[in-house]
Structure 1
């Protein structure tokens, strides 16, 4: 993926805080398939740990000459385990992310869309529990409110 090349059309918006970011775009080399770009060490690491999506490419900021440390090392290790193509870049996609006033923390992950469950499947699963609890939220504006609801 490039920064303006390869038929990239950006249509995203921030979906969270604390370094996580998702941006949707259409890549010419994938036809009409929509991908998401996860940005930030925590968002990328948790996605790779969960393995619920299709993964296309991992971008790491820099020239690749320095060994990654901490959470970035774990990200690289998980990417290697699933044979995820990894590209080291300077500027490019990371400059674009920063122009959106976000901190990519040196990592971006191109993924397929999140695989949401169908409502009928959720209701069926809930009906099998002795005391099911189903919480449905719409237009949650403050993520801290979700924590309050869970407590």
Structure 2
């Protein structure tokens, strides 16, 4: 078992029929969305336990539980084949986000949240040297982890090669590339976003089809991974939706 912390993440877990053992609610928290959580839990016969807020403080890993923590089943990770098949069933051009050793849980959660917003078909992470789905990630995603398939793979380079066999073009977010809004980002696409400190590894970059960069004129020449990812994902969303400025 693992836990989900925060009001929106718990609400989304209930909506998505996640297996929930019990929901712990601070005795002092009875307003607003807490009432909604209680009503939803009772409707689905989920055990509610009222506890002192200090107990939630002690067991919280996100340190932002908002008066509610749910004990839930482990997060379901998808196999790459499952991810590809799910996309084929939707009969849409596949759109995957490939994360090369992202280690900050807040960045992963924010990227998953944006992935949900722009309709990405899945997020791919490596099994090693990467943060996985934790209570902090779930909280940062505002519950989007319940809707965006996350796939763990052994080797990112081999995964890229497999996606190419499926007809995807793979773009790398890197400063040595073409300005992102001048590049064609439509069609079957995978976007690689590198780690916070080191960017995209050499072998991964070599196996991408092209690179895209964000021009910057400020004194700081890099962006947080989730911020950079958000900008690029919305450009892809705009182009895929046909919303091109005239």
TM-score (norm 1): 0.62
Distance 1:139 1:40, change over 3 A: same
In the other structure, the counterpart of 1:17 is none
Picking from 3, 21, 38, the partner of 1:56 is 21
Find the aligned partners of 1:115 and 1:139 in 2 and give their Cα distance: 20
In the other structure, the counterpart of 1:103 is 64
Distance 1:119 1:101, change over 3 A: closer
**How is 1:65-80 mapped onto 2 (pairs within 5 angstroms)?**
68-80=30-42
The yes-or-no answer on 1:123 pairing with 2:84 is yes
Encode CA deviations 1:113-141: one digit per residue, 9 max, x unaligned.
Answer: 11222211111233453532232224334
Find the aligned partners of 1:79 and 1:72 in 2 and give their Cα distance: 10
In the other structure, the counterpart of 2:47 is 85
What is the root-mean-square deviation of aligned Cα atoms in Å? 2.5
* Contact 1:126-1:134 at 8 Å conserved across structures: no
Encode CA deviations 1:11-70: one digit per residue, 9 max, x unaligned.
Answer: xxxxxxxxxxxxxxxxxxxxxxxx11111112212221222x21100111117xx8x321
For the residue of structure 1 that corresponds to 2:75, the secondary structure is coil
Picking from 230, 236, 241, the partner of 1:147 is 230
Greater Cα shift, 112-121 or 135-144: 135-144
Which structure 1 residue ranges, 5 or more long, are not aligned?
A: 1-34
For the residue of structure 1 that corresponds to 2:231, the secondary structure is helix
Deviation at 1:103, TM superposition (A): 2.6
Find the aligned partners of 1:79 and 1:111 in 2 and give their Cα distance: 13
Distance 1:49 1:121, change over 3 A: same
State the 4+ residue runs in structure 1 displaced beyond 6 angstroms.
none
Deviation at 1:112, TM superposition (A): 0.3
**How is 1:5-84 mapped onto 2 (pairs within 5 angstroms)?**
35-51=1-17, 53-62=18-27, 68-84=30-46
TM-score (norm 2): 0.40
Of structures 1 and 2, the larger Rg is shown by 2
Instruction: Name which structure has the greater RCO, CA cutoff 8 Å, separation 6+.
Output: 1
